[in-house]
Amino acid sequence: MSFKDSLNWINIKGRHLQSGIAFILHRLTGLVILLYLYMHLGALSQLLNGGIAYKNFLSTVESPPFVALDILLFLVIFYHGANGIRLVVQEFGIGTRRRKLFFWIMMVLGLIGWLLLTYIVASSFIGGA
């Protein structure tokens, strides 16, 4: 099997939203979260340069473009979390015939959570600005 074949999982042709596409998105969002974890550790390591350097760094990442990226990151995390809870439940063999229903219930809950958090972050950001 070639390297190209090993990437066949990412092919969206012929896939269903609640099945194959949800699976692809789950993997990709997992990779984004993993990348973010390393970026977060890198950001924390700025403390090694002293308190002033860290505060300067924080003032950069609290600027509007970074907050917008944070809100996008919340979307990634909420998708991964909501779909992950669905997978944990269904991998016990519960409601496997009701994949579509389970998927959409969790997507709606995830979306509500994301909108709430976005509102909280945006209001504190606007209020604090």
Partner 1 sequence: MDKVIFRIKKGTPEKWEYKEYEVPVENGTTILDALYYIRDNIDRTLSFRASCRMEVCGSCAIMVNNFPRTACSTQIKTIGKKVITLEPLAGYKWIRDLVVDFDEFFKKHESVKPYLVRKDNPEGQLLQSPEQLAKYKQFTLCIKCGACLAACPVAVSDPFYLGPAALAAAYRFNADSRDQGKNLRLAVVSDAEGCWRCHFSSECSEACPKDIDPAGAIQKLKVQAAGYELKRFFHLGVKD
Give contact residues for partner 1 (rule: CB under 8 A): 1, 5-11, 13-16, 18-20, 22-24, 26, 87, 90-93, 96-97, 99
Q: Read off φ and ψ for residue 89, nearest 5 degrees.
A: -65, -50
CB of 85 vs partner 1, minimal distance in Å: 13
C-beta of 26 vs 109, nearer to partner 1: 26
Interior angle at CA 73, CA 27 and CA 64, nearest 5: 160
CB of 31 vs partner 1, minimal distance in Å: 14
Q: Give the 3-state secondary structure of residue 22.
A: helix
3-state SS of the chain: helix, strand, coil percent to 5?
85, 0, 15
C-beta of 72 vs 105, nearer to partner 1: 105
C-beta of residue 24 within 8 angstroms of C-beta of residue 12: yes
CB of 23 vs partner 1, minimal distance in Å: 4
C-beta of 22 vs 76, nearer to partner 1: 22
CB of 128 vs partner 1, minimal distance in Å: 41
Give the whole-angstrom CA distance, residue 13 versus residue 101: 22
C-beta of 45 vs 96, nearer to partner 1: 96
